[in-house]
Structure 1
């Protein structure tokens, strides 16, 4: 059975966890909190029957979270910091009994030197896989679209081939921004299948993304308009991957608008689950 989740990205006030209840989520993915927020996260989830998940970075440093998460550098100090933050996030997830940890990979920031890139990436992935095994927490690598050396389904498949302990979080918007000729979401589904344990679901187009970011999923938007065409795409993705959870990762919406997208996704999941058991 696929669960329905929501990211704290939807919150206008990131400390107003109660606002998440309008989505009636099975899972909440908490993105970029300090470890001192864990008691409040645990209490909120326990009181509402919600399974927590974490998205790096989670920091044990009482100071502000780092501005950048850059696991492949090219600055080795940033790469080392990203690994420390990943370790902190996995440890916190183990304490919470979290469903998973999501890790952005690789570094999305220019410049993009080829020298040392593959080695840095494999070192980070090997260390992260070891953390997942040690703490018995699923760690999911989230696809990005910015790095020219690692963005397509084939490139991710090669990068993760030696690390079967790591799962995949398929970010639909990031995949869509690559364009159909470079794989798009269905290419990731074919490359990874059931290794995709989670999907970040939202709407976008290449021209809207810089101005609007992650927009709420909308069944009325079509591929002909440059959108993902989620009404057709999501059922096919569910069929090919059977993920543990779909996570709504759009930006804040007007009060009262939360249930529309959640109910639509919940109905899609229901039809998928019903078909998978017949």
Structure 2
């Protein structure tokens, strides 16, 4: 079964926008992340009152010292700080009855470093995923690894497949925007990546990006006007590819950022467009 959800990233800390967020596509499911300890209960009260289902995105709750995730970082302190955050999010998911938890892999590294190797980074990925598998099993809540980048030591599809094959208790969240940016950065075929990871994929994050637009607006709402020949991700091709291999259970999450100057009509057009692509498959 394919379900549609929307991320609270679109409104960030503005909980007053929750009802409007849900109305963009008559959503009954949320992906909730990044709220602090004071704001999270307000979001969860809304979800309970509206009878919504939800998944969580690490970190939740977000603590004042939380930084970007470092799941494969060679610095033990950074890596364990990230693992502690993911454990905290899993425990929060148990408390509120979330359906899944998502966390980023690998750590972002912009430039190669003399002291690092691909073998070392992948070893750290395995070690971290061993721990996440154990915690996920104990919590009884699926944990999904979401692709992010850049990382010059962990970006090829074979690295992701190796980690997923070694950890069958974990799931995969395909982030279309990050995938497209990495394909531009590293020069690989997005559709080959999607095909090889499709059987592990249970969640898809949908938004669009070009390198320039990502730096300016972060996550841009998907829209049919975004043509691949103009540098945008080919969202229909990516969705068609992953859904050809995986249809049993999938959550398609619309994940936007509030910085982009799009009105509700533009956003709704994009949501309906994506829904049409998915339901045709």
**Aligned pair in 2 of structure 1 residues 60, 260: CA closer, same or farther (>3 Å)?**
closer
Residue deviations 1:30-86 (CA, integer Å, cap 9, x gap): 12123454433332222223211111112475xx25122212223211111111111
Moved more, 31-40 or 42-51: 31-40
Structure 1 equivalent of residue 54 of structure 2: 52
Which of the residues 242, 246, 251 maps onto 1:241?
246
Q: Is residue 263 of structure 1 aligned with residue 272 of structure 2? A: yes
Q: Is residue 164 of structure 1 aligned with residue 165 of structure 2? A: no
Residue deviations 1:130-150 (CA, integer Å, cap 9, x gap): 111111111110111211111
Structure 2 equivalent of residue 96 of structure 1: 96
**Aligned pair in 2 of structure 1 residues 147, 141: CA closer, same or farther (>3 Å)?**
same
Aligned residues of 1:218 and 1:230 also touching (Cα < 8 A): no
Structure 1 equivalent of residue 21 of structure 2: 20
Corresponding residue SS for 1:259: helix
TM-score scaled by structure 1? 0.87
CA apart distance, 1:104: 0.4
Structure 1 equivalent of residue 158 of structure 2: 154
Trace 1:120-131 onto structure 2 (pairs within 5 A): 120-131=124-135
Structure 1 equivalent of residue 203 of structure 2: 198
Which of the residues 28, 31, 35 maps onto 1:29?
31
Aligned residues of 1:28 and 1:53 also touching (Cα < 8 A): yes
Aligned residues of 1:170 and 1:188 also touching (Cα < 8 A): no
Structure 1 equivalent of residue 141 of structure 2: 137
Which of the residues 210, 229, 234 maps onto 1:229?
234
CA apart distance, 1:101: 0.7
Corresponding residue SS for 1:234: helix
> Would you say how many aligned residue pairs link Structure 1 and Structure 2?
269
Give, in whole Å, the separation in 2 of the partners of 1:223 and 1:255. 23
Aligned residues of 1:60 and 1:88 also touching (Cα < 8 A): no
Moved over 6 A (4+): none
CA apart distance, 1:12: 5.4
**Aligned pair in 2 of structure 1 residues 36, 107: CA closer, same or farther (>3 Å)?**
same
Corresponding residue SS for 1:182: coil
Aligned residues of 1:152 and 1:183 also touching (Cα < 8 A): no
Aligned residues of 2:209 and 2:233 also touching (Cα < 8 A): yes
Give, in whole Å, the separation in 1 of the partners of 2:28 and 2:86. 24
* CA RMSD of superposed structures (Å): 2.2
Aligned residues of 1:22 and 1:258 also touching (Cα < 8 A): no
Corresponding residue SS for 1:164: coil
Corresponding residue SS for 1:140: strand
Structure 1 equivalent of residue 78 of structure 2: 78
Give, in whole Å, the separation in 2 of the partners of 1:117 and 1:78. 14
Q: Is residue 250 of structure 1 aligned with residue 253 of structure 2? A: no
Structure 2 equivalent of residue 182 of structure 1: 188
**Aligned pair in 2 of structure 1 residues 65, 37: CA closer, same or farther (>3 Å)?**
farther
User: Structure 2 unaligned runs (5+)?
Assistant: none
TM-score scaled by structure 2? 0.86
